[in-house]
Amino acid sequence: MMQIDSQEKEEDTVKKAIVAPNHVAQAVRRCTGIPVSTLDQEEKDRLIHLADRLHERVVGQDEAVNLVAEAVLRSRASRDQPGQPIGSFLFLGLTGVGKTDLAKALAEQLFDSEKMLVRIDMSEYVGFGAVARLIGAAPSCIAYDDGGQLTEIVRRRPYSVILFDEVEKADPLVLNVFIQLLDDGVLTDGKGRTVDFKNTIIIMTSNLGAEHLTAGMAGESTMEAAKELVIKKVHKHFKPEFLNRLSEVVIFEPLLHDKLKEIVKIQMKSVTARVAAKSISLSASDAALDVILLESCNLMYGARPIRRWVQKNVMTVLSRMLLKGEAVEGSTIVIDATDDKTGLKYEVLNPQGKSPVVELSCDKTKVT
């Protein structure tokens, strides 16, 4: 009997020690950044539904999302030019309209995490030494051992979305490097090592021509005419050989009130998820969402003022409630508009019963 029990224990230990393919995939992803979907062949499903999943994250930019999703789909399905990056895009538009959000969403959907997004501020790559900072200095230079900021990142994390912010500010010599990158899919760093970009997505953002989109938003011209003027300005600034190597040039339209209301909902959904982690429920009425939109909306700056307003006002109030013990595990917080529609009121329903309603008028200073 003792021997049988011992054998059963050994069998249980063996069963517990079995490593399934998904365990290996997860371990490799943690060490290398290679997405699990690439290893277990689930990428087809992701690509087919990529546009739908991006739309869930990016509001009011249907055309932009579809252009990007279709370009990625074509690239991954056919790989007609296997040496090049998965996709390369120039994102154009006003501040806060979803350019960075789309880049983050791509990193999450294709590479399993937003952390696979690398942002590089191109205003820092101007003048002498700009190229060396990007790909590494030559052996004769003092900074030779440092490595290039771009090439080192991609060498260590070959599956990434690379976001070059405000690319119009980059030095012309840096743009020449980009032409080589987009054409060959590889760069040689200062130490002579070849760095492969074939598993990256390259995104460059620019505000070039934003004034034309502003005019279109104000009704001074049609949006189609505004987009044509933006493209003309882009062609004046960048070389044809640079633009011709991009998968798509994508224009993001200004966000109007109806789309900004959707962004308010998304921001409040994020707040709800944060308090849910503490086992607290939260709901906001439609009237409360209208107050948030009214107080935070700035058409020139898109979604960013909304995010800041929600953090500064709503999250501050909720954090104070949590610290004071006014909202505890099992509580429900209900946010509504005040009777005069100029502020928000917070009611906490605790397991023991209702707490006093807290009414707060909104800061009349617009967040920009």
Q: H-helix or E-strand containing 195?
A: strand 194-196
The total number of residues written for the chain in this structure: 368
Residue 101, φ and ψ in degrees, nearest 5: -60, -40
pLDDT in tens, 35-50: 655 545 677 888 889 9
DSSP β-bridge partners for residue 87: 201
* Identity of the residue numbered 116: M
Q: H-helix or E-strand containing 204?
A: strand 200-206
| CA distances (Å), origin 222, targets 26, 217, 226, 228, 299 | 49, 8, 6, 10, 17
Residue 33's CB is within 10 A of a number of other CB atoms, namely 18
Reported as a pLDDT band with limits 50, 70 and 90, residue 119 is very high
Give me the pLDDT at residue 35, please.
Answer: 60
Residue 257's CB is within 10 A of a number of other CB atoms, namely 10
First vs last Cα of the chain: how many Å apart? 76
> Is residue 153 classed as helix, strand or coil in its secondary structure?
helix
In this predicted structure, the answer to whether residue 254 has a pLDDT above a threshold of 50 is yes
In this predicted structure, the answer to whether residue 352 has a pLDDT above a threshold of 80 is no
- Token duo for residue 2: 């003792």
Which residues have CB under 8 Å from 100's CB, separation 6+?
A: 119, 163, 165, 205
Alpha-carbon span 217 to 300, nearest angstrom: 9
- Token duo for residue 366: 């617009």
pLDDT in tens, 204-237: 999 999 999 999 988 888 999 999 999 999 999 9
pLDDT in tens, 67-81: 999 999 888 877 656
Q: Between 44 and 320, whose confidence is greater?
A: 320
